Amino acid sequence: MMRKNKNVVLWAASLLLLLVGCKQQADNEKNALLVIKEQGSFAVGGSVITNPGTFDPITRTPEGQTYHGDHAYIVYQIPDKARKLPLVFWHGIGQFSKTWETTPDGREGFQNIFLRRGFGVYLINQPRRGNAGRSTVEATIKPTPDEQEWFNTFRVGVWPDYFEGVQFPKDEESLNQYFRQMTPNIGPFDTEVITDAISKLFDKIGDGILVTHSHSGGFGWLTAINNNRIKAIASYEPGSGFVSPEGEVPSPLPSSAGALQANSVSMEDFMKLTKIPIIIYYGDNIPDKYSDNKGADGWRVRLEMARLWRDAVNKYGGDVTVIHLPEIGIHGNTHFPFSDLNNIKIADLLSNWLKEKGLDK
Amino acid sequence: MMRKNKNVVLWAASLLLLLVGCKQQADNEKNALLVIKEQGSFAVGGSVITNPGTFDPITRTPEGQTYHGDHAYIVYQIPDKARKLPLVFWHGIGQFSKTWETTPDGREGFQNIFLRRGFGVYLINQPRRGNAGRSTVEATIKPTPDEQEWFNTFRVGVWPDYFEGVQFPKDEESLNQYFRQMTPNIGPFDTEVITDAISKLFDKIGDGILVTHSHSGGFGWLTAINNNRIKAIASYEPGSGFVSPEGEVPSPLPSSAGALQANSVSMEDFMKLTKIPIIIYYGDNIPDKYSDNKGADGWRVRLEMARLWRDAVNKYGGDVTVIHLPEIGIHGNTHFPFSDLNNIKIADLLSNWLKEKGLDK
């Protein structure tokens, strides 16, 4: 009797330990501590306005004073035992580094996810945006209610309705956070100011992998042309700025959101984009034929242009892949796949591509 | 012979191991890994502009559209085994969270230092500043060269000269970084908008210790009056906004930088500031009598007003300490003691005060 009781007790104890162990393991994987070797922030790029004359500390008039502006503001974290190539994340239009941080509903974004996967992470705030707001040109900013247009352009739905099966949280607070992750441009876009700052970033940090989104897609191609420390590009829903060699620029593609132009560069510059692996992702709910839903139709021609561009770059020996997520069985993604509800799956796609291309050593 | 050689070899090996071990120990203390349990960012506070009418997704005109703005943008990190009360860091005029991040010459700032010391850290970007630039009111921003004025007001020196023994790096790149840690206000200051957002921050995160700088000194007193989750305040060089009970407001204090006013609040509100420990720090190179160096003279009256305020709060049973760093033998500090060259020593002062007041459990 005692031996039987003892066996039962041992069995129960073992089972309990096993359950506790499994839970701990699951907890560890889900809530693993982030171990950071180094973290900080800095300004890079930009220029200086210098008034003529000599500064007078008593009168403190403008003569001889300076204004350092048009730099990018960079936040970085390097995990312990980091892989060789860091990921450099570049936001899109109306956004800042928040794009990659915790999501509107509080889940981890690509910043944390890829830190956990052993990558150094650099988050860009581009010149004249957000904390890099010290612009060298004057700006007037008017608060113009336009969030319903963004809701549609970001393909969360057609306001006030969410798309069926959309990978976006439907509670009010998430939408509140989503709208508040926008911040205005402080002055007009200046492609040279912007790409120069990010090129200088790569001069400073060395080789890395650029990850772009939407508007920064176009800036990313140009920066990679200018700086061969960019060893690969992953671009989420690039919005414009596809570049072709002079004489080979595709005709503009019409849509209800306006015609999408492509830009030309020299053949010498274009060939630089054939030297690095590039992957482009587009999400769901992109119309496959003309739609008067301007928010979505613009993406139809962008996906089409991306495919034309892929073919052009690959024709010249490049390595461009275009993934249309629904075509590989991943449904419901918005303009922000990397922060959507299924963003772990989206991260896994990127991890696999990096591994396949030998970029994750 | 062989035994002697063997002893020498063993001795040399031991010495080598000892040296390696010591270096590793020193490296570990200096470069200890940061172990983070949770990190992220969010918006808090603010309001919504709503246009009348119904949004039309085809025409996409302004009717029925919204604009969420005037929130603060918060970045947080919680270390493993965090102390109970986090530190909430609030920048001053013209600054953003960078104030507390790595210094102009790349050393760790209070964000990293206090993470290492086991405190949860929240970095504020106040409404209408930097990444929280989505203001609900129109703004025009003109880039006005004024950095030499700031150099003087921040008591780095009297341009172009650094103060003798100043705790600030003298290389050109550090000055470049220092000027670029400024970013403009997007619209006028609105005390209610600002303090409301930070009060809502404490509603969200619970009890904490507020750390203010310069312009946020005044905002800090008001927010603590509004929200008793603020359990203590450490203020570095508060610049304005000292509050006294109606009828007991000190006369303005004249200086070459203008007269410093004090503000009045109800006695009921004032008494709230007697309930929490408060410490105020001022640095070096503050004139002790009227000086026509506007950059420094404004601090003379601020230090004087801080002492009057301390005495008033303590008269009513409060716990305010004012530390003028040179008077305790710490010399050369600028307006930014927490990022100066001796900022570890400045951090130690804060750590000791937190411990003394039982705020570091």
Residue B1, pLDDT score: 53
**Is A148 within 8 Å of B57 when comparing Cβ atoms?**
yes
pLDDT tens digits, one per residue of A116-168: 999 999 999 999 999 999 999 999 999 999 999 999 999 999 999 999 999 99
Largest CA distance in chain B: 100
Q: Are B134 and A96 in contact (CB under 8 A)?
A: no
Chain B residues whose beta carbon lies within 8 Å of the beta carbon of residue A54: none
- Residue A25 scores a pLDDT above 50: no
Residue B24, pLDDT score: 52
- Using CB atoms and an 8 Å cut-off, which of residues 104-133 of chain A contact chain B? 106, 108, 112, 125, 130-133
> Among A279, A297, A280, A276, which Cα is nearest to A288's?
A297
pLDDT tens digits, one per residue of A254-294: 999 999 999 999 999 999 999 999 999 999 999 999 999 99
- What integer is the mean pLDDT of B128-147? 98
Residue B18, pLDDT score: 56
Chain B residues whose beta carbon lies within 8 Å of the beta carbon of residue A186: 133, 141, 184, 186
DSSP-assigned letter for residue B233: E
* Interface contact B28, partner A, CB < 8 A: no
* Interface contact A2, partner B, CB < 8 A: no
- Using CB atoms and an 8 Å cut-off, which of residues 167-206 of chain A contact chain B? 176-177, 179-184, 186-187
**pTM score of the predicted model:** 0.93
Q: Distance between CA B50 and CA B27 in Å, rounded?
A: 56
Q: Which regions of chain B does DSSP assign to beta strands (E)?
A: 34-44, 47-50, 66-69, 72-79, 87-90, 121-125, 139-141, 157-158, 161-162, 208-213, 230-236, 243-245, 263-265, 277-282, 319-324
C-alpha distance from B63 to closest chain A C-alpha (Å) = 9
- Is the Cα torsion angle A239, A240, A243, A244 positive or negative in sign? positive
Chain A residues whose beta carbon lies within 8 Å of the beta carbon of residue B97: 131
- Residue A302 scores a pLDDT above 80: yes
Q: Distance between CA A183 and CA A265 in Å, rounded?
A: 31
> Among A46, A39, A182, which Cα is nearest to A122's?
A39
- Which one-letter amino acid corresponds to residue B128? R
pLDDT tens digits, one per residue of B20-40: 554 554 444 457 999 999 999
Chain B residues whose beta carbon lies within 8 Å of the beta carbon of residue A141: 133, 135, 138-141, 186-187
- A2 vs B342, which has greater pLDDT? B342
- What integer is the mean pLDDT of B343-352? 98
Query: How far lies A196's CA from each of A126, A209, B113, B182, in Å?
Result: 10, 17, 33, 20
- B264 vs B8, which has greater pLDDT? B264
This complex has an ipTM of 0.92
> Which of B65, B107, B126, B140 is the best residue to mutate to test the A interface, defined by the most A CB atoms within 10 Å of its own CB?
B65
Residue B27, pLDDT score: 43
Residue B11, pLDDT score: 66
- Token duo for residue A140: 């007037």
Pick the CATH number of A33-357 from 1.20.810.10, 3.40.50.1820, 3.90.1150.10, 3.40.50.10540: 3.40.50.1820
Specify which residues B330 forms β-bridges with. none
Q: Distance between CA A147 and CA A200 in Å, rounded?
A: 34
**Is B35 within 8 Å of A39 when comparing Cβ atoms?**
no
> What distance, in Å, lies between the first and last C-alpha atoms of chain A?
59
pLDDT tens digits, one per residue of A28-58: 445 799 999 999 999 999 999 999 999 999 9
